[in-house]
Chains A and B, each alone.
Chain A
Amino acid sequence: MDFIPRPKPPITGNESIHLEDAYHGYFDLSLRRTRTVLNDIDLVVSRGEFVSLVGPSGCGKSTLLKLFTGQEIVQRAKNFEVLGLLPSFPDRTRGVVFQNYGLAPHLTVLRNILLGLEFQASLLQRFSPSWWKRAKDMASKYLDDMRLTDASDKYPPELSGGMRQRVAIAQTLITIDLFGMPDLICMDESYGALDASTREDLQIFILKLWEKYKKTIVFVTHNLEEAVFLGTRVVVLSQFWTSDQPAAQQEGSRIIMDIPLESHAMSTEVKQTAAFKELTKYILDRGFNPKQRLHVAQFNADLRHPNSFSSLTREQCATAFVDGSGATSPQSLDGKT
């Protein structure tokens, strides 16, 4: 009858992200104590995975991403490795695409795209005209792909939101072409400011790039459809859950769903299929509903990805074991009773 927490997958050393029992929070001035944002996060991401990270607003998606990029340092965790190392401050191994900012306003679009190359060029490359020619050719290819050729001499403040976003994406991707870095790309609501058609174009674009280079991508979005369409795996982070612990320990978000997704069809038509719609609706109902909080012991049903695991304690699911009755029983969910 014992409830068995989902075991940790074997760690091969080939993971992009390995995060275990992570807690993170901020000091809240009005509460005069640290308010937990991330509560016991367990996440293992293999190299080459395309993880869509979704969740209700305020659930801490961006905070989790900041831990990966090194903008923030995790407060407490049993294990935390990104690309095999405890993440240090932001560097070229982990790329990031923000929804806003990130573009140097004083540089033209072309110079912005070349920025990564300018930074990383070795002394030899810096003075080699042929290398710069190659870099410029590469940049103009990206300008072309992103439909930015006409804007190449404009400054970011002169561009629309969508165009700026395309520049920001090109900035990061071009360094993969020339330097093979970054190995992990964190996208923080990157497509949030785009109109529908540009958005679909860029979705296909990022998929093609992912197919070509097989870099790990963590894609934070509030658009569930986009998440399910793009990812090989959709992870739902949500603050709407409950356990048998005191209320103070139920603060913050947990990963409540982790679902593997079908391989990509490279066509946005898949979004119209019944299975696709059913899945997005299922995630929406279970993960985004503040009125119907799921019990931690019920998560196992939705932690379906082979890499997902959860380390629950007996206290957290006391009722689920003791009486075994009602909707909160994990056994009934697993269909083993």
Chain B
Amino acid sequence: MTELKRSIPVFWGLHARPGMVFGRILGLLPVALVLGLYMFVSHARHLVNADDKLMPTLHQMSDAMKTIMTVPDKRSGKILFVEDTKASLKRLGMGIGIAAVASYFIGIMMGMFPGFRALLGPLVVGLSNVNPLALLVIILVALGVGESSKVFLIAFGIGIPMMRSIAGMAERMPNELTVKALTLGASQFQVLYKIVAPQMLPRLIDLIRVSLGAAWMFVLAAEYVAATEGLGFRINLQQRYMNMALIIPYVIYISLLAYTGDLLLQGILKLPCFRWYGKSED
């Protein structure tokens, strides 16, 4: 018996199969390259000028982080890293929460009731084209520099587009589904909360996932402009001292937080009660 063999490329072409191990190595390659390049350039710059602030070494960065994570602030006596995280996550959470609840309920109403759609449609479409960052100054003037203006910026910035999406998805739901429910004896209210709303829930979670990036952007923007604590505020503050040793780890930390949020939402969608979601209809 001769063994039939066909060579399968590991990297090039449509038929390539990199495999588990080699695939991982491939993925790490560019990451290592960027990291190595940074370390090399940073080292070179420090050889020329020992006080170089633009590209701190990994050691300097870890030192800066250690300080902010363990040494209490002289004025408030609190650990700034924890306070920053708490402040930013609270704003983010409240903003996303308000946006989610409002877009879910108003979006479903707009999608299902043509009268409601005619009433609110133009306003929502108009507002979704307003750049929230352009509105920032007006929000600050109107709501002050406190928490409410930051929460409002996030809620407005992601809530209006989410509302539009939910309304569109509810509207595009097969009409047959509604008709069938009505012929089975459902009241209009029952159609809404037994048929439409549960189907919109995982879609809402998906929408939040998509909006997470924008939400983070709005938190940071608001904190840059007016805040006394928060991750964005810290970055903005340290920028005055060119303290890259703290800024760079903060950027990485914010990215990790955003990634964790995405993973959490993905985890919710993997719950057994959403098993039906994402499976093709036909």
Contact = CB atoms under 8 A, between A and B. Distances in A.
Interface of A: 69, 71, 89-92, 94-96, 98, 100-106, 115-116, 118-120, 155-158, 168, 171-172, 175, 179, 181-182
Nearest to B188: A89
Interface string B162-184: 00000000000011110111111
A120 B185 contact: yes
Interface string B187-209: 10010001100110000000000
B184 A92 contact: yes
Given A95-B184, A101-B177, 7 more contacts: A98-B179, A104-B195, A106-B276, A116-B185, A119-B186, A119-B194, A157-B280
Contacts, number: 84
B262 to A, nearest CB: 23
B176 A100 contact: yes
Q: Which are the 6 A-B pairs with shortest beta-carbon distances?
A: A116-B184, A157-B279, A155-B276, A92-B185, A120-B185, A101-B176
Contacts of A96: 179-180, 183
Nearest to A97: B180
Contacts of B182: 89-92
Given A101-B174, A101-B177, A118-B194, A158 B183 contact: no
Nearest to A121: B185
Contacts of A175: 184-185
A171 B195 CA distance: 14
Nearest to B182: A90
Given A119-B190, A157-B276, A102 B180 contact: yes
A182 B183 contact: yes
A302 to B, nearest CB: 32
Contacts of A156: 276
19 contacts: A69-B179, A69-B183, A90-B182, A90-B183, A96-B183, A101-B174, A102-B179, A104-B177, A106-B198, A106-B199, A115-B181, A115-B184, A119-B181, A119-B186, A120-B185, A158-B276, A171-B184, A175-B185, A181-B185
The winner among A100, A103, A106, A115 for most chain B CB atoms within 10 A is A106
The winner among B175, B177, B180, B281 for most chain A CB atoms within 10 A is B180
B226 to A, nearest CB: 43
Nearest to B198: A106
Nearest to B278: A157
Q: How large is the interface on B (under 10, 10 to 19, 20 to 34, 35 or more residues)?
A: 20 to 34
A173 to B, nearest CB: 11
B74 interface: no
Contact of A119 (B185, B199, B282): B185
B5 interface: no
Contacts of B282: 100
Given A100-B176, A156-B276, A105 B183 contact: no
B59 interface: no
B275 interface: yes
B180 A179 contact: no
Nearest to A174: B184
Contacts of B181: 104, 115, 119
A90 B184 CA distance: 9
A90 B179 contact: yes
A172 B185 contact: no
A90 B279 CA distance: 29
Contact of A105 (B175, B176, B194, B199): B199
B185 A98 contact: no
